[in-house]
Amino acid sequence: MHAPGSAKEEGFLADAHRILSGIPGVRDFTVNRQVSAKSALSWQFSMVFADRATYAAYDAHPEHTAFVKERWMNEVNQFQEYDFTAR
């Protein structure tokens, strides 16, 4: 919802990194820019969890749920979520 390259967009991305990467169990958090013309999405958040239980704890963590409610739902207009476990 923020203009590309705007201070609001940069602030959202920085806050997301600071808040979400600080939740226990989150490893290798990165913010990645879309480079393909095949997708309308601009950004990707990627993170690694040791196991499903760690992911579940992250998903239910108060900092995560607050970020989703207060920021994500108000500042992101389109997204695709993928949650995988390794083989």
Summarize pLDDT for 11-70 with one digit per residue, the tens: 999 999 999 999 999 999 999 999 999 998 999 999 999 999 999 999 999 999 999 999
Architecture of domain 17-75: 2-Layer Sandwich (3.30)
The residue type of 50 is A
Q: Over range 66-85, report the average pLDDT.
A: 93
Q: Which distant-in-sequence residues (6+ apart) come within 8 Å of 84 by Cβ?
A: none
Do 27 and 36 contact (CB within 8 A), yes or no? no
What DSSP designation does 43 have? E
Model confidence at 3: pLDDT above 90 = no
pLDDT of residue 84: 85
Dmax of the chain from CA atoms? 40
The pLDDT value given to residue 31: 96
Distance CA 69, CA 21 (A): 17
